[in-house]
Structure 1
Amino acid sequence: MSLLSEDVKNEIRVVSKSVVGIHASINYEVFQYNYLQRNGNLVRDPNSPVGYKLDSGNGDSGVIVTTDHKTLSGGGLIINFNNAASKYTILTSNHLVSPEDTTDIYYLDDHGQPTDVLFARYVVDRVSITVRGESSWRSRADLIANDPVNDIAVIVTETETVLGQAFANKVGYDRDLDWGDWVFLFGYPKGIKQLTGGWISQAPYRNTLAVDAVVRFGYSGGPVFALSSDRAELQFVGLIKSVPSNTFEYIAPDGTLPVGYRLSYKEVERLFVKRKMMVEYGTAYFVRPQIIKKFFRLAEIVFEDNGIKLDSKYFDG
């Protein structure tokens, strides 16, 4: 027995064909800093780019340069398909496809608060974005417009492979979503398209709403839908931007030691402090539809420059 009518279930099947998976692969150049110490204390240096004197002994610069790699995944909504050019235009979250150029990590004090001592600097070297539809085929995509403040972005990809169909229903810009309204959310956790839903409540963050849905990493960028007042169709009413999370820190070897290996004192130098993000299940935040409308209007000239003609519903509602 289903809690949803056959009409609603059919609407879900229809809009699901416009939902795609987004995958971003990010390569970083990492600069880790070794500091000179005197009597156990760091030495301040106003001429140093990091504020403290670096340990340049043994011919080193005091900076260790390495590389790192991170992957992000989430969802997106096909908002336009140009059949002649085989070009898909997709709405998603900015943080999935446009990471900050530079990320600084600082040492912590005894209370767990960041100090002014820089531990490492991560600089983005390359970002590769791919899109997948119902099949496992991935198509390379490019970012053409974004709003980092409200976490909105538009990407495009050209492929002969069918990724899905452009969203054909109405956009609910006029919906005054509030406490007690029910919405449906799509995402791509672990590369699998999934549906969930929940009741709306107010969010503590500007231009967002909260929903008590069971979501996990991979829902960011996914579309939010609500039934129209006559319950005839699902309208697009938001974009998932984040889920509450916490960090779990632990000590682990560098990855070359087998499970069950008994550490000797020599292996202590090969231990690393690692940090893992943990989802706090039960809440998701999404961008209000009116904010998305403003984004489309501001980005209209960008779409025109890229030969993209969006349906007027995205600008007028």
Structure 2
Amino acid sequence: MDIYWIFDKKHGLCTITHTLQVKRNANTNFMYTRNRLRPGFSRLVLLFILFVAGLSVACQTRYVITDMGVQAYYQTNHPLQDTSRDIAKIFESVKRVNVVGYYSTFLFSEDAGVTEKDVNRAETYNKAVSQFAYTQSKAGTATVIARSDNNLILITNDHVVSFPDTLVFFYDQDEQQTGRRGRASEKIVERISIRVSQINMIFDMPRFGPFQIVSRDKNNDIALIAVKIPDEESLQRTSILSVGIGDPEKLNWGSFVYVFGYPKGYKMVSRAIVSDPNRDRLSGFLIDGQFNEGISGGLILAIRAETGEMEWVGMARAASASSKVVLVPVEKNVEDYAFHQSYTGEVFLDVITQIEYGITIPVSMKAIQNFFRREDRRLRDEGYYLGRAIAR
């Protein structure tokens, strides 16, 4: 025999003579428990119920409303079931990317009068007073999304794998300085840095050699990279992302997401909450993850409310940041100076970028799928097949 109890927070204990399908909801004033009683004990329970009903005249039959609206497509709370095995499996396809750009730098005196229009002239570099080399490095996250012949194809942000070909730096000039005709004179070039090479490596796959950039979308900050795997065994042993393709258009305020990546080089999974869903025509959204450098290209997964399955809804791209101009002493060792006294040595201006933690702008899955479909034919012609990564 099935006995249902309803407790009205305002009126006390009541019994139900007509029971609808009941489900727990925080928006109702009712709670229930269900107990299956032994047949020999059921009569005593019925007598007790009749006794309580006689004392509670105000207690009447109540119907519990079960239809509380449409369930969210993606979960808005932390998953109830254990997801640790799923997370570990997914991370097998998430890789750390390191990119180093090598530059040759030419330094010019101010008297040489080199301007921006001289940058592309070969004879300009004969005026350099010195030449030296320096490097720039970047780190980010990439996810293995497909196998193609003996290549693995990964997705990341374009800014993670891109360096400018040429960097031009200028001397500071007085704003009042003018040319012969009273117009502001052209800025004088101090140094020019030209990129001569770039090395692209996947951190935990160094023996497979550098990767190649096979496709990119600078506007949406998406890049596809490919690394050649020399033997079939290693190729088959590498895990491919196996979660379903999600729909960012169905994300809501408060949707719960996981973010996989390598902030500061550490292998980490973070949780975040969605804000401002469908903020643009590509179903863009914001998340509040506390991200650091290296998370760019990270995988963003939401959890289906009905099934509990994880789905790919976007890629971490950039944290909001602000910059400020500061005065920096030329001398590197300033520990001996009193920090509350004025500094009289030589200083120069520098720009410091500060990440505004808690505001992250992802690339939506809609933008990624548009990119895949647009590039699919060309990639096939070059021997790269995206397979299941494209939602049909």
Structure 2 counterpart of 1:34, from 109, 116, 138: 109
Structure 1 position 66 matched with structure 2 position 132: yes
Which string of whole-angstrom CA distances, capped at 9 and with x for unpartnered residues, describes residues 30-87 of structure 1?
A: 34443239xxxxx8x999637xxxxx9xxx82565432211100101100134x62x2
Structure 2 contact 213–224 (Cα < 8 Å) conserved? yes
Cα distance change on mapping 1:103 and 1:61 into 2, 3 Å: closer
SS in 1 for 2:104: strand
Structure 2 counterpart of 1:100, from 134, 147, 164: 164
Q: Which moved more, 1:90-99 or 1:229-238?
A: 229-238
SS in 2 for 1:24: strand
CA displacement at 1:205 relative to structure 2: 8.1
In the TM superposition, 1:48-197 aligns within 5 A as 49=118, 61=127, 64-82=130-148, 85=150, 87-106=151-170, 117=187, 118-133=189-204, 139-159=209-229, 164-173=238-247, 175-197=249-271
Structure 2 counterpart of 1:288, from 364, 372, 375: 364
CA displacement at 1:283 relative to structure 2: 1.6
Q: Which moved more, 1:162-171 or 1:200-209?
A: 200-209
Letter in structure 1 aligned against 2:84: K
Which string of whole-angstrom CA distances, capped at 9 and with x for unpartnered residues, describes residues 118-169 of structure 1?
A: 4444332211111134x78674211000001110000011235578411111
In the TM superposition, 1:141-290 aligns within 5 A as 141-159=211-229, 164-173=238-247, 175-202=249-276, 207=282, 208-247=284-323, 249=326, 251=328, 260=335, 275-290=351-366
Q: Which residue of 2 aligns with 1:11?
A: 86
Q: Distance in 1 between matches of 2:116 and 2:145?
A: 51
Structure 1 position 25 matched with structure 2 position 100: yes
Structure 1 contact 33–63 (Cα < 8 Å) conserved? yes
**TM-score, length basis structure 2:** 0.62
Letter in structure 2 aligned against 1:154: L
SS in 2 for 1:281: strand
Letter in structure 2 aligned against 1:18: S
Q: Distance in 2 between matches of 1:103 and 1:22?
A: 23
Cα distance change on mapping 1:172 and 1:4 into 2, 3 Å: closer
CA displacement at 1:211 relative to structure 2: 0.7
Q: Distance in 2 between matches of 1:69 and 1:209?
A: 35
Q: Which moved more, 1:71-80 or 1:119-128?
A: 119-128
SS in 2 for 1:140: coil
CA displacement at 1:217 relative to structure 2: 0.5
Identity %: 21
Greater relative contact order (CA < 8 Å, ≥ 6 in sequence)? 1
Structure 2 residue runs of 5 or longer lacking an equivalent are 1-77, 176-184, 338-344
Q: Distance in 2 between matches of 1:62 and 1:308?
A: 44
Count of aligned pairs between the two proteins: 287
**TM-score, length basis structure 1:** 0.75
Q: Which residue of 1 aligns with 2:74?
A: none
CA displacement at 1:28 relative to structure 2: 1.7
Structure 1 residue runs of 5 or longer lacking an equivalent are 38-42, 51-55, 263-267
The structure whose Rg is larger is 2
Structure that is richer in strand per residue: 1
CA displacement at 1:223 relative to structure 2: 1.3
Which string of whole-angstrom CA distances, capped at 9 and with x for unpartnered residues, describes residues 215-250 of structure 1?
A: 000000111111124243211111111112344645
Structure that is richer in helix per residue: 2
Structure 2 contact 100–198 (Cα < 8 Å) conserved? yes
Q: Which moved more, 1:182-191 or 1:72-81?
A: 182-191
